[in-house]
Structure 1
Amino acid sequence: MTEQTYLNIAVLTISDTRSEETDTSGHYLVEAVTDAGHRIADKQIVVDDVYKIRAVTSAWIADENIHAIVTTGGTGFSGRDSTPEAMSVLFDKHVEGFGEVFRAISLEEIGVSTIQSRALAGLANNTVIFCVPGSTGACKTAWNNIIEKQLNSAYRPCNFVGHLTEKWTK
């Protein structure tokens, strides 16, 4: 059996209304990350502004000690939802399957309302970035069914850990 490799993961809540006290989604992700044995490298809340989102995320992508980023919020269709526009240009490679699988699982939970989710993921500088909707339920769906497994070095047949640990060997 392969020993688990633990990662440094940053959590970003994207919201115009959430504060540290009301950020249930961000708090859930922090707890889920640490329960899985990983370390929280940073946690921030940023308003839903393309350039502020990119500024925080770009700094984390450049940090060789951060291997993964999970964002929550800004993936819908309302006027200020801009996570996909902010993040997709930062990706070296898009992980198209993430959004597809998230919506497929979510379909069973919330029905066709899942079509309004623009969840996405990608790789940038050997950092995997998962962008999920802002509800705590959506964060649980994404973490429990997809993200946790893909950040587990023992998960087979494949996971992202090998790509992320390349940062350590650069």
Structure 2
Amino acid sequence: MSRIDETREFIPVRIAVLTVSDTRGLDEDRSGATLVQRLTDAGHLLADRAIVKDDRAAISAQLRAWIASPEVDVIISTGGTGLTGRDVTVEAHRDVYEKEIEAFGTVFTMVSMQKIGTSAVQSRATGGVAGGTYLFALPGSTGACKDAWDEILRWQLDYRHMPCNFVEIFPRLEEHKRRK
């Protein structure tokens, strides 16, 4: 079972939050605000926050800009993971992934099943890595953002989490680019 090793020092991670919406601004963005509150309460740093329209190219462009920034370690997007024609966040994420973290979507579905039952099948939450940056696409609902943070990301983005976590492998994400 997972646990926190109190002998290890907490390492704050720089996280950018992206809300994908055609209708919301910062004042109405409860899901983005929920993520910001949770990540800062956990001791992490808000690297940036933005809202983009449900447009695959615009989403991909924002993701690429943050991936290229040395000030961003993790990107969490909210919105656009559903099944409708305007839901293109997952495709935009996959446009930039070097590697997909397939188990993230599976674990998110398991967590969601406990809360919303079989309606969990309607989410296409995903995670991946690009340019040494972790990316996660969450549904737009506040509840889904709380569940993803509280049950998965909070732990995996904490260096003290055992037996393993995303933070401890940051240095190895781009080891394939090192000269031999």
The answer, yes or no, to whether TM exceeds 0.5 is yes
| Equivalent residue letter for 2:97 | F
Q: Distance in 1 between matches of 2:32 and 2:93?
A: 18
Counterpart CA distance in 2 for 1:119 and 1:40 is 21
1:117 aligns with 2:100: no
Q: 1:148 corresponds to which residue? A: 154
The one-letter code matched in structure 2 to 1:121 is: G
Task: Deviation per CA, 1:59-99: give whole Å up to 9, x if none.
Answer: 00011121001000000001100011111121111100000
Percent of pairs with identical residues: 47
Contact 2:16–2:48 (8 Å) recurs in 1: yes
The Cα shift of 1:163 comes to 2.9
* Partner SS state of residue 119, structure 2: helix
Deviation at 1:166, TM superposition (A): 5.7
Q: Structure 2 CA distance, aligned partners of 1:94 and 1:79?
A: 23
Distance in 1 between the 2:71 and 2:52 partners?
21
State the secondary structure of the residue aligned to 1:21: helix
1:130 to 122, 125, 136: 136
Question: Which amino acid in 2 is paired with 1:35?
Answer: D
For the pair shown, which has the larger CA radius of gyration, 1 or 2? Answer: 2
- The answer to whether the aligner puts 1:26 opposite 2:39 as a matched pair is no
For 2:74 and 2:172, how far apart are their aligned partners in 1?
Answer: 12
- Matches of 1:23 and 1:81 in 2, distance apart? 17
C-alpha distance after superposition, 1:85-136 (max 9, x if no partner): 1111211111000000000110111111110100000011111111100000
Distance 1:66 1:6 in 2: 12
1:158 aligns with 164
Are 1:75 and 1:131, in contact at CA under 8 Å, matched by a contact in 2? yes
Say yes or no: does 1:139 pair with 2:128: no
- What RMSD over aligned residues (CA atoms) do the two structures have, in Å? 1.5
Alignment map for 1:33-72 (pairs within 5 Å) = 33-72=39-78
Residue by residue, what CA displacement relative to the aligned partner does 1:136-158 show, whole Å, maximum 9, x if unpaired? 00000000000111100000111
Distance in 1, matches of 2:152 and 2:16, equals 17
Q: Tell me the matched-pair count.
A: 169
Q: Distance in 2 between matches of 1:102 and 1:49?
A: 24
- The whole-number CA distance in structure 2 between the counterparts of 1:165 and 1:27 is 29
C-alpha contact (below 8 Å) 1:152/1:161 kept by paired residues: yes
* 8 Å Cα contact 2:60/2:95 also seen in 1: no
Q: Which amino acid aligns with 1:155?
A: H
Counting only pairs closer than 5 Å after superposition, residues 1-16 of structure 1 correspond to structure 2 as: 1-16=7-22
For 1:121 and 1:152, how far apart are their aligned partners in 2? 17
User: When the two structures are superposed, what TM-score results if normalisation uses the length of structure 1?
Assistant: 0.96
Q: Whole-Å Cα distance in 1 between the matches of residues 171 and 50 of structure 2? A: 23
TM-score (norm 2): 0.90
